[in-house]
A = this chain, B = another copy of it.
Amino acid sequence: MKVRILVSFKDSVLDPQGQTVRNALHTLGYDAVQDLRQGKVFEVELAGVDRAAAEKLVPEMASKVLANPIIEKYTWSVIED
């Protein structure tokens, strides 16, 4: 099964990279862009894991390894069964 984990800065943490991208888009005339935040995405292929197991495994990997809870938050979803 395949899961997708999105990691991004907490709202309380400044995202200068996102701001730079937003500014670049503005310069190019994409004025509709109000706000932009940049994060990381991990697409993970898991073998021999069912939904129930994933519910336990993925949050553990995400909070222990993939995200730093001081500055980052994550969400995840199953994208392929």
Contact = CB atoms under 8 A, between A and B. Distances in A.
B21 A66 contact: yes
Nearest to A18: B42
A44 interface: yes
The oligomer's copy count stands at 2
B35 A38 contact: no
A61 interface: yes
Given A34-B46, A38-B42, A45-B35, A61 B6 contact: no
A40 interface: yes
Nearest to A30: B61
A65 B61 CA distance: 31
Interface in A1-53: 6, 8, 18, 21, 24-25, 28, 30, 32-49, 53
